[in-house]
Structure 1
Amino acid sequence: MAFLFGAVFTLILICLLFIIRLYVVVKTGSRYKPGARGPVSVLVVAGSGGHTTEMLRLMESLSAAYSPRHYVIADTDRMSEEKICTFESSKHADSQFSISRVPRSREVHQAWISSALSTLDALRASMPLVYRLRPDVKVSIVFVESVCRVESLSLSGTLLYPLADLFFVQWSSLRDKYPKSIFLGRLV
């Protein structure tokens, strides 16, 4: 039992240190506006299934100044890769984009205990991306909660709510529960 407590404590400590380091790296990016010095790089983390579709709908409104686009998807997510490639080929004639894969942090219905180990694996794979794909603009964490979330936040939303610079919800009932959130109606 003491070993399990020590392992969980170590895991939590590693995750906290990673989050602090990631926050420092992200917040120290350069601070110029898109297009001021030419095109700027964008990093898009896409969920699977319908979440990728929602993300691509948001991406449709970005101008050509946001290029190249770097997408990060789960290593088991083949459908998102197809959707991204289709989107890029239909929207941009000379698309500059890349797709990086990281291990999925947690599968649907995966036990919480085992998801701690898979999350560590995902963090290990994500660290090189943070440094290699460092964006050109001052990074803001913008989270758009899924339109499916009417009464409560998703797990991702719950974790990112305190960290996000902009946190959009698509239902007024969520705005009332989460005062930092922004409600503009349905976004996707």
Structure 2
Amino acid sequence: MKKVMFISSTGGHLNELLQLSPLFKKYQYTIVTEKTDSNVSLRNQYGNKVFYLAYATKHNMLKYMFVFPFNCLRSLYLYLKIRPDVIISTGSHTAVPMCYIAHFFKKKIIYIETFANIYTKTVAGKIVYPIADHFIVQWESMLELYPDAEYGGWIF
């Protein structure tokens, strides 16, 4: 059974990622997200299959400057601990280091660009697009921005 890591930032990205929960039954899965008060309860539902990264946003750049490098190291640790065959992500910045780590180890990366953007690229999408094995957009209009992407429709 393939090991699949589902990773995203908290909030809307995590909400989109959890829409893929029917896939969890088909794989040996793990979920990685940022630890916040609103999602600490994921452990109640998914048990030891949930791992957390530190939470920070670019709105507080001072904190972010320390948390992002920490999350890069924590991502490497989690990757080496879990050894996934596939990374599936709905973004955002939290997932970028894990995608590059997986790319370094020649593992498959499936990136789903957020539903929230219809006409503009996300920063994470721009960064992961060149290395993703499958880059999926949820709006047909996004195919103009990501010509090699696959239109997958909404995951809601």
Which bracket does the TM-score occupy, shorter chain normalised? 0.7 to 0.9
Task: Give a deviation string over 1:82-125, Cα, whole Å, max 9, x none.
Answer: 25644x4xxxxxxx752112223x414133x7634332111122
Which of 45, 49, 62 matches 2:11? Answer: 49
Greater fraction strand: 2
Measured in 1, the distance between the counterparts of 2:37 and 2:8 equals: 12
TM-score (norm. length: structure 1): 0.63
The alignment's C-alpha RMSD in Å is 2.4
- Identity, in percent, stands at 24
Q: Which residue of 63, 81, 103 corresponds with 2:40?
A: 81
The structure number with the bigger radius of gyration is 1
Could you give the per-residue CA deviations for residues 115-174 of structure 1, whole angstroms, max 9, x where no partner exists? 343321111222211111002568311111111111112221121111111111111111
1:131/1:109 CA distance change after superposition, 3 Å: same
Q: 1:180 deviation in Å?
A: 1.4
TM-score, normalising length: structure 2: 0.74
Asked if 1 retains the 8 angstrom alpha-carbon contact of 2:14 and 2:33, the reply is: no
Q: Map of 1:81-160 to 2, 5 A cutoff?
A: 81-83=40-42, 85-86=44-45, 88=46, 97-104=48-55, 106-111=56-61, 115-136=64-85, 139-160=107-128
CA distance in 2, matches of 1:54, 1:136: 21
Q: Please tell me whether residue 179 in structure 1 is matched to residue 139 in structure 2.
A: no
